[in-house]
Amino acid sequence: MVSAPAKPPLEAAKCCLPAVPVAAKSSLPNSSATVSAAPAAAPSSLDNLDSEHPATDSASADSSRTVEVIRKRADFLAANRGKRFVTPNFVLLAHRRRSDHPIPAETIRRGITVTKKIGNAVARNRMKRRFRALLAATLPRDGIAGVDHVMIGRKANTEADFETMKAELEKGLKYLAKKLG
């Protein structure tokens, strides 16, 4: 059995590099194409989509509310002194910022805490990703302006589905909005 000598890795890479820009250029969308007007039947199908997910003026106004991330330990400790809402999967803390705080009063801030008690790094990172998705979907609409929101992960026997956690978060935000007045 005779085998041919393999090229060194650097030489092999040099052969493939010229093909990369060509492949990238060929995958770009055609910018010279014009967009044609939609047929008359298309708006009725869009109306069906709007009826499933109605867009209200308050939803579009709320989506422009800015949500920032809490990064300083002092802000997490201050949130711990605030009001709390406890569920089997997480604890939601809410703390109204002082009037002299450098962050604008209309800004909503969020933070996530998951300790090593939860599990290994894979479990903690999964929980943090789920919390980020929950907060991104819920806070612009239901968040309380001028308040820091912190989610603390809790160890549960079974992982709850996303819709259950979203319903719990919405319930918690409404509860804390009443508590904070």
Q: Which of 45-59, 111-125, 166-180 bottoms out in mean pLDDT, i.e. has the lowest?
A: 45-59
- Per residue in 74-127, pLDDT tens? 999 999 999 999 999 999 999 999 888 888 888 999 999 999 999 999 999 999
The 3-class SS string of 93-137 reads EEEECCCCCCCCCCCEEEEEECCCCCCCHHHHHHHHHHHHHHHHH
pTM of the model: 0.64
- Per residue in 7-48, pLDDT tens? 665 555 555 555 545 444 554 455 444 444 444 444 444 444
- Catalogue all structural domains in the chain, each as residue range(s) with its CATH number: 62-180 (3.30.230.10)
Please count the other Cβ atoms lying within 10 Å of the Cβ belonging to residue 43. Answer: 11
